[in-house]
Amino acid sequence: MPERITIADAARHVGETVEIPGWLYNLRKSGRIVFPILRDGTGLIQCVAQKSELPEPVFEELKHLTQESSLIVRGKIRAEARAQGGYEMDVEGVEIVQKVAEIDPYPITPKEHGVEFLMDRRHLWLRSQRQHAIIRVRHEVIKAVRDYFDNHGFTLVDTPIFTPAACEGTTTLFEVNYFDDDKAYLTQSGQLYNEATAMAFGKVYSFGPTFRAEKSKTRRHLTEFWMVEPEMAYADLDEIKRVAEEMIVYIVGRVLDTRREELKVLERDVSKLEAVHAPFPRLSYDDAVKNLQQHGSEIQWGSDFGGADETILTEQFERPILVDRFPTAIKAFYMAPDPARPEVALGVDVLAPEGYGEIIGGGQRIHDLDLLLRRIEEHHLPREAFEWYIDLRKYGSVPHGGFGMGIERCVAWVCGLEHVRETIAFPRMLYRLRP
């Protein structure tokens, strides 16, 4: 029995007869030879099947095989410099597992399809090379994030998804029924819980799905996305910025080290990623507003950046930028005001270059009990739901803070994509809940 291998492993089996289980990616025919291209999730390999080497019915079956049929190919691996991946297989036998019916062919062909057509067939689209590359980069980004925090003394403490109250503002909550007429909300962020666990463990992070019900139809918004959120006791704004910067440099470095092939498939200009090293430019919200006005934006001091503003700002830099001290009035209730200038908050956003915009939001939290109570009132938040959070300001309160990074925004930037929808296997957006 020949050994069963993956395409990624072909290099270690040159000259051997092996078996590769997979799917038919494409098929070229040239008289008495057919060239099935096999994919197996680890790569692509061109096979060479000669009429003279195979029983007649096997050759005929292969010759008429339909795209995405599943099959197990047996043959000898040969190094071939001109082949994609560097290897080919000379076919000695084929077992068809399931043939795609000719009357109902695989709907995604190499021709161009519209995005909506493809999104409706997302369950199949994931098999294409480009989507495959994106998801592999995403996997590496997530691994890098975890390794970064695991190697820097952070403890992973995941936070609940059902929550009794809002964290980032009440207008963007998904409400669900929670037994006996009680209401729960899908979490917008694990931050408030991270603040509790940071007081228990010092440095923590959570990583999980988060939900936003804002009706934004932009290239940056999903209704369900994955956020990594570190939180640190005894950390000030400078320390929070330092960690954000170091984490991003680490992520980009890891993708460059391990996912060059995928970046090539995506035609990503890697020189842009190679430019991502510390220190990142730091500017204040005040200066960012002036800069935007000089570049033709209508923005006035006091309002948040729009998507277009973020694009204008970040197209000017080759590295991510750290923008701090946004107006307190437009930030969440928990944001610590700058003691020297209470109208601005000790918060920071990291904006990715090349027009990508915000990938991280974070900052220092209010640690003073009275101020926090005042803010909860000003924001008309139900105090009962926050009693536990208020407790943190009664029992050993310390300056602390952290940030959240949306994985999809980070991946969209690293991969150089137009829209976040391709960075997650099954995106959830304002007008998309299927498949």
User: Residue numbers of the site for ligand 4AD (CB under 6 A)?
Assistant: 167-168, 189, 191, 212, 221-222, 225, 227, 229, 358-362, 402-406, 408-409, 420
141 binds, among Mg ion, ligand 4AD, none (CB under 5 to 8 A by kind): none
CB of 393 to ligand 4AD, least distance (A): 17
Residue 362 contacts Mg ion per CB under 5 A? no
Instruction: Give the contacts of 328 (CB within 8 A, at least 6 positions apart).
Output: 335, 337, 342, 343, 344, 345
CB of 176 to Mg ion, least distance (A): 24
DSSP 8-state class, residue 101: P
CB of 221 to Mg ion, least distance (A): 11
Q: Which amino acid is at 20?
A: I
Joined tokens for residue 414: 């690293």
Residue 43 contacts Mg ion per CB under 5 A? no
Q: How far apart are CA 125 and CA 132, in angstroms?
A: 9
Segment contacting Mg ion by CB under 5 A, of 178-186, 220-228, 238-246, 356-364: 356-364
Q: Which residue is nearest to Mg ion (CB)?
A: 361
CB of 365 to ligand 4AD, least distance (A): 8
Residue with tokens 């959570």: 206
CB 134 within 8 A of CB 423: yes
Residue with tokens 């006035």: 300
- According to CB under 5 A, which one of 361, 399, 401, 402 is a site residue for Mg ion? 361
Nearer to ligand 4AD, 312 or 405 (CB): 405
Nearer to ligand 4AD, 227 or 344 (CB): 227
Nearer to Mg ion, 190 or 361 (CB): 361
> Contacts with Mg ion: how many residues (CB under 5 A)?
1
Strands (E), 1-128: 3-4, 17-30, 33-39, 44-50, 70-79, 87-98
CB of 333 to ligand 4AD, least distance (A): 11
Q: What is the DSSP string of 386-402?
A: GHHHHHTTTSS---EEE
Residue 353 contacts Mg ion per CB under 5 A? no
Q: How far apart are CA 196 and CA 157, in angstroms?
A: 10
Rg of the chain taking only CA atoms, in angstroms? 26
